[in-house]
Amino acid sequence: MLGRIVGQSEGGVSQHQIAQNLGIPLSSVNRVIVQFTSEGEESTASRSGRPGPSERCLRAVKWSNEKTLRCKAADVAEVIQVNSRTAVRYLHQLGYYGRATRRKPLLRPANIQRRKKWADEIANRPLKFW
């Protein structure tokens, strides 16, 4: 929409006519044109939004998580006094995600015998091998 306003303005169309063509208030058309002529940009500047967590808060989350590797988000939330969903967001921001390790299958008796045989062979190798 902003590009259309600027385009029509550069094409020689009056502000009043642009407002009628696009069905928007004349004050909006004027604001966009003035902004474009003064700043050279047709889009508005990005806004900062709500500030994220402080460095101190993120350090506390990291410390709490590294202290006990199997801690829950609720435990971290309790330490930094925020909601558990907020604690999860902070953990994700730091690169921590909840992952379950894959279970290692138990060795079958045949594999146990093969491993013992291999270990005995390796143990009996001469010193020069090592």
pLDDT in tens, 54-95: 999 999 999 888 888 778 889 889 988 999 999 999 999 999
Nearest-10 Cα torsion for 59, 60, 65, 67: 100
pLDDT score for 22: 87
Could you tell me the residue ranges of all domains in the chain?
2-39, 55-93
pLDDT score for 113: 94
Tell me: pLDDT of 51 over 90.
no
Tell me: pLDDT of 129 over 80.
no
pLDDT in tens, 5-40: 888 888 888 988 888 888 989 898 888 888 888 877
Tell me: pLDDT of 41 over 90.
no
State how far the Cα of 18 lies from the Cα of 2, in Å rounded to an integer.
11
pLDDT score for 9: 86
State how far the Cα of 86 lies from the Cα of 58, in Å rounded to an integer.
11
State how far the Cα of 129 lies from the Cα of 62, in Å rounded to an integer.
46
pLDDT score for 115: 93
